[in-house]
Amino acid sequence: MQSIVIFTDGACSGNPGPGGWGSIISTPDGQIEELGGGDKSTTNNRMEMTAAIRALNKIAPSDAANIVLYTDSTYVIRGITQWVHGWRQRGWKNAEGKDVANKELWEEMLRQVMRLKPAKVEWKYVRGHSGFDGNERCDQIAVAFSKGYDANLYIGPRSEYAINIDFLPAEEPLPEQKSGKGAGSSSKVGSSASSKNGTQSYLSYLSGVVVRHTTWTACERRVKGQPAKFKKAKSKQEELEILTSWGLDSRTAIVED
């Protein structure tokens, strides 16, 4: 039986500050469902966790094949696969004897994993902004909700989905933990919160024309329901790399929105 594939991501401006989360669920029967939401005062880690929890919650145990969940949050992966069991044994205290941050979310995430048994959840790392459409789209959803925008979430057949959700990351080990970022740390290991909000532009490619948008809302307005390509760029160099990845010359003209 094929696996259910999930991508998740979270974003937060200020950390704590206004945040958003986004998830994509791709089921073996060829259906796609995007999920997303926001919170006016939250943290990046809470949004990363919420994205995973909400996605798992949408899956009925009777429908659950094995699940492969991709996230760029090493905090989520290490927490649910390594730290959570020790926390429970110590009465939800970390190794330093302090209360575990985000306890209620860890309890809910663990409950969702147990609810779906005997289906297994595989937690896989995808490096943020590394060109995988599932991760990029979740980031777009999360950022949109963090800014109070409507992300126009898609629900429908995979054959009509605007992005290539089947382009999956290769197996990659978790980055090494930075010193001082132990279990239960409130910071997102391996990724800075500011990078979530340092968007330079959004590029869209439709009918042979590349357009540069300053907001996701403008980009989405052009690509929604169209056989288009789109991607976020954080620098001019990244824009050139995106053009190349789309099979275009790096000198291709970009129209300003």
Residues known to be catalytic: 9-10, 48, 72, 129, 139
Give 134: exposed, middle or buried? Use CB within 10 Å, 0-12, 13-18, 19+.
Answer: buried
- In whole angstroms, how far apart are CA 122 and each of 7, 69, 160, 213, 244? 12, 6, 27, 36, 32
**Sheet strand arrangement including 209-213:** 229-233, 201-206, 209-213, 254-256
C-alpha torsion angle, residues 12, 14, 15, 17 (rounded to 10)? -70
DSSP state of 17: E
The residues that bridge with 122 in the sheet, in sequence order, are 68
C-alpha torsion angle, residues 238, 207, 155, 63 (rounded to 10)? -80
Backbone angles phi, psi at 189, to 5 degrees: -70, 135
